[in-house]
Amino acid sequence: MTRDLYKFAPKRKLTMDNNFWKVGVLFSKTGVTSVIEKTQLNATLLAIREINAAGGIHGRSIRPVVYDPESDPEKFYIYSKRLVEKDRVNMIFGCYMSSTRKAVLPVVENFNGLLWYPTLYEGYEFSNNVIYTGAAPNQNSAFLAQHLINQFGRRFYLVGSNYIYPYESNRIMRDLVESAGRSVVAEKYIPLNPSDDDITLVLSDILEKRPDVIFSTIVGSGTRLFYRKYWAAGLQPKQMPIASLTTSEAEVADMGAEVARGHITASPYFQAVDTVANQRFVHKYHAMFGADQSTNACCEAAYFQVHMFADALRKVGKINTESVRAAALGSFYNAPQGKIQIDVDNHHTYLWPKIGRVNKEGQFDIIDQVDTWVKPDPYLVNLQMTEPLFKASNDYQYEDHSSHTRH
């Protein structure tokens, strides 16, 4: 059982105190994307606890001001304004969906704050008031497209939730697929909080069109429904896998390993990453939140970005936006996924793309990966699809799940 560690977060407006550094935290504990956002919140609080336990920054602890925006862009906007206007906070760690980042963006820009954003996203954005620590499209979409093109057939089915990120990610995937001579047989969108009927309609269309691979940008509770419907229909990942950027260990745990087994995700991090830094991270995460709680890429980025902020603050000794940003840009950190760096030019992060496939334990086997970090290219300026984008680390073999009983 996950332990209740949110009780140390302030419940009311804080007064200025020279004994701590105050920061804002905006991740949803409730709402449609709370399954993944709670892991980002957990990792943020874990990093803060580690820093404070080690003596803080220049003898002062970090104090988080935490709000629950309930996966609602309007509430993200309201709480971000409250943080900067009433709580006098200029550093905000938060946001999962792009619609929520877009809601917070004008606030940090107008008040000259700094948003630390630990989520993969659709790219095509730069703000002087954001540090992007999740994957840009060239660090996941491009690698996944090449993998699918190499390993599967020619016909792709695109499905996503009805908001900014899926539309833009599907546009990128369509461009990559069609530029390689493959075809997109359909592109469908479902409500962010879909009904059973919404999923049934899409699955019926998939059964009719029989694509070779499904690219899903469904997020939140819809992920569980979609994969379970697929599984109940008797479809097989060996013949028609669901490939995703947004289905992490958190969503797999939510739907069940049996349902997710054999499906694919592209990500710079999986809990299975074999580094000393990741072993420490996973051990501490389990100790703090329970051994049954898995880490994931959005969780890992939420964790390491707090440490990168702390390193920057340690250098400059003051928490104003200009100083912290200047110290953070170009900085390195030994993250669980490997050594990373914040790019000076575009505020995104050098990351280590990987392809994972869900195993029977509900974790990801890493079946393909790069042998070096990848510079973020959020505008896909230098993308080349004519050369291999990664090298295989393992032989690609699927298990046959056809004997499994459907319920």
Helix H, strand E, coil C: the string for the chain is: CCCCCHHHCCCCCCCCCCCEEEEEEECCCCCCCHHHHHHHHHHHHHHHHHHHHCCCECCEEEEEEEECCCCCHHHHHHHHHHHHHCCCCCEEEECCCHHHHHHHHHHHHHCCCEEEECCCCCCCCCCCCEEECCCCHHHCHHHHHHHHHHHCCCEEEEEEECCHHHHHHHHHHHHHHHHCCCEEEEEEEECCCCCHHHHHHHHHHHHHHCCCEEEEECCCHHHHHHHHHHHHCCCCCCCCCEEECCCCHHHHHHHCHHHHCCCEEEECCCCCCCCHHHHHHHHHHHHHHCCCCCCCHHHHHHHHHHHHHHHHHHHHCCCCHHHHHHHHCCCEEEECCEEEEECCCCCCEEECCEEEEECCCCCEEEEEECCCCECCCCCCCCCCCCCCCCEECCCCCCCCCCCCCCC
Nearest CA-CA partner of 316 in 124, 114, 142: 114
Q: What is the pLDDT of residues 187-227, one digit of tens each?
A: 999 999 999 999 999 999 999 999 999 999 999 999 999 99
Q: What is the pLDDT of residues 132-142, one digit of tens each?
A: 999 999 999 99
- Given this model, what pLDDT does residue 382 score? 82
Determine the pLDDT at residue 398.
37
Distance CA 115, CA 152 (A): 39
- Residues 45 and 5 sit within 8 Å (Cβ to Cβ): yes
Task: With CA atoms as reference, report the closest residue to 242 among 255, 268, 269, 223.
Answer: 223
Strand 155-161, strand 130-132: pairing: unpaired
pLDDT at 401 over 70: no
* DSSP bridge partners of 351: 374
With 50 as the cut, is the pLDDT of residue 4 above it? no
Q: From the CB of residue 154, how many other CB atoms can be counted at a distance below 10 Å?
A: 14
pLDDT tens sequence across 299-334: 999 999 999 999 999 999 999 999 999 999 999 999
Maximum CA pair distance of the chain? 64
Q: How far is 117 from 115, CA to CA, in rounded Å? A: 6
What CATH number belongs to 138-272+353-392?
3.40.50.2300
To the nearest whole number, what is the mean pLDDT of the chain? 91
Domain chopping of the chain, boundaries:
6-135+274-350, 138-272+353-392
CATH number, domain 6-135+274-350: 3.40.50.2300
Whole-angstrom distance, CA of residue 210 vs CA of residue 236:
12
Instruction: Estimate the crossing angle of helix 73-85 against helix 98-110, to 10 degrees.
Output: 30
Percentage of residues in the chain having pLDDT higher than 70: 89
For residue 3, what pLDDT is reported?
35
Q: Give the pLDDT of residue 153.
A: 86
Write the CB contacts of 323 (distance below 8 Å, at least 6 apart in sequence).
316
